[in-house]
Amino acid sequence: MGGLILFRKLTGLTLGRLCRQLWLLAGLAALCALLPLAAGRAAEEALSGGVDFSGIILAVTAAEGDPLPEQLERTIGGMSDVGQYCSLRAMEREEARQALEAGEATAVLDLPENFIRRVQSGENPAVEILVDGSRPLESLLTLWVGQSAADLLAASQAGIYAVLEQYDLAPPVGLTRDQAVMEINLKYVQWTLNRQELFREEKLLPTSVLPISLHYRLSLLAYLVLSTAPLFAWICQGPWIAGLRRLRYARRSPLWALAAGLASCWAVMTAALFILLKLAPGLPAAAALETAAVWGAFFAGWAAFCALLTHTAAGCGGLSFLLALAMLAASGGIVPPVLLPEGLRQAGEFSPITWMRALAAKPLGYDAAEHPTALLLAAAAALCALSAWLYIRRANERGEKPL
């Protein structure tokens, strides 16, 4: 009972000291709310809105007199999904190359002679694609489309070969080989026309799961929150902890003082984070409170750990800044996750900023990581355990003037 009374008294003293920093905390809270909004919009503009792309124009050529380019232009022109990013133009070979050089065409598709007949017979004829290297975005998209088409064509040819091998082993009565080839190709044409039933559409983002703006807003918010650790460093440093050494003479564990500091830090940060999460990502009230409580628990352990590894608020600030910056980079909060090296991207899954971002995004319908609450609470418990060990060592040190 005496320990609980001491805990209540120390918590009141700590909260009273924190109230003296109320205006500073309010200013930092406003900064933490405004900067993520600006950063999110800037990142969205840089990674999506700022890209000038209106689709690719593919010039299709073939041997002189071959009607295939005109047929493809009419057929592909009627496919609305393909037309969103690619349009075909039938041209002569020389005309197509001149259009590519003049920038009027993104790429040239040069079909070999008797292309359709060779495909129907099970061959995989070589197709030449010419792209403009000065337009990397369109060129990469063109090559990706061409590679996808080549993969589909190779798969269809493999199917034709497999069926024809079975036909040669035991030819059905009344079905000629030409009829078998025709029926196979008609089946593939039917699958192509009904391709929406075969493929699943997926929107690709440079930030993997979250929309660009939300990804950077939450990333920067988590980073700024972790960078405010110096504001709470005095709880575990200097005259404050030196004055609490007197608890030894009352036969009380110094861990009661640490518990009071952690509880005070958690309460203040939970209140501030509730407002920030309600404003910045726009979370519902219940979800914002739950997320703020978990973020606050991790922050309390984080602030105590950084403060106890150093001896001054400036040292705590430098350490928390560098560690949080490293976690921000690993989590894809600076360079988009898809551009990170594979090893760094995998390591970023264990970054607390990744877990904080996922926890805040979950109420909005995004599953950016599994079990972020459990991971953050486990990390908070580990930091508090390490802080308790360091706190006892610090409390037993000599040489600092008491409060």
Task: Report how far residue 322's alpha carbon sits from residue 301's, in angstroms, rounded to the nearest whole number.
Answer: 17
CA-nearest of 101, 112, 105, 80 to 90 is: 105
pLDDT at 400 over 50: no
Taking only the tens place, the pLDDT of each residue in 297-316 is 999 999 999 988 988 888 88
Give this prediction's pTM. Answer: 0.59
Taking only the tens place, the pLDDT of each residue in 119-166 is 666 566 777 778 776 666 666 667 666 666 666 666 666 777 777 788
CATH class of 56-197: alpha beta
- Residue boundaries of the structural domains of the chain: 17-46+209-395, 56-197
Helix, coil or strand: residue 135? coil
Q: How far is CA 41 from CA 57, 84, 221, 325, 340, in A?
A: 31, 26, 14, 20, 21
Query: Percent of the chain at pLDDT above 90?
Result: 10
Taking only the tens place, the pLDDT of each residue in 260-273 is 888 888 988 898 88
| Half-sphere exposure (Cβ direction) of 393: Cα atoms closer than 13 Å | 11
Task: Report how far residue 242's alpha carbon sits from residue 403's, in angstroms, rounded to the nearest whole number.
Answer: 7
Task: Report how far residue 360's alpha carbon sits from residue 290's, in angstroms, rounded to the nearest whole number.
Answer: 9
Taking only the tens place, the pLDDT of each residue in 223-248 is 888 888 888 887 887 776 766 656 55
- Which position has the token pair 């970054």? 351
